[in-house]
Amino acid sequence: MRFPASNVQHLVLDDRVLAAVETGKFHIYGISSIDEGIEILTGQPAGQPDEACLFPEGTVNGRVQARLFDFAQRRRAFARAMADDEGEKSP
C-alpha cells in the first residue's frame, strides 16, 4: 500500500492489517514523491534529470523519456512521408 507520507499520522489500520504488516505479508510505504513510488514498485532507480533535462540511461524515467523521443521521431517521419505523398499527387 502506498500513500502520501504526510498522511502517515492519520493512518488507522484494522488489527488484521497490522498483523499482516508485522508478519511481512503486507507492506505499507509512506512516500513523498512519485519517484519514490516508482522505485518501490519497480526496484529500479527513477532517475533525476541533468541540466539539459535528460534522464540517465537505465533509469525508469530515462526509459520513459527515450520511448517518448522515439514516438516523436516516428511521428515526424510519418508527417514527412505524408507530406511527400501529397506533393507527388499534386499536378
In a domain? residue 28: no
Question: Which residues have a Cβ under 8 Å from the Cβ of 8 and sit 6 or more positions away?
Answer: 30
Cell of 28: 505499507
- pLDDT-above-90 percentage for the chain: 64
Instruction: State the pLDDT confidence band at 4, using cuts at 50, 70 and 90.
Output: confident
pTM check: above 0.75: no
In a domain? residue 16: no
In a domain? residue 41: no
Quote the CA–CA distance of 71 and 67 in Å, as a whole number.
Answer: 6
* Whether residue 22 has pLDDT greater than 70: yes
Phi/psi at 29 (nearest 5 deg)?
-125, 125
In a domain? residue 68: yes
Average pLDDT over residues 38-57: 97
Mean pLDDT of the residues in the chain: 90
In a domain? residue 84: yes
- The tally of domains found in the chain comes to 1
- The whole-number pLDDT of residue 1 equals 64
Listed in sequence order, the DSSP H helices in 1-91 are 15-22, 34-42, 60-89
Q: Which of 26, 5, 4, 24 is nearest to 13 (CA)?
A: 26
* Whether residue 68 has pLDDT greater than 80: yes
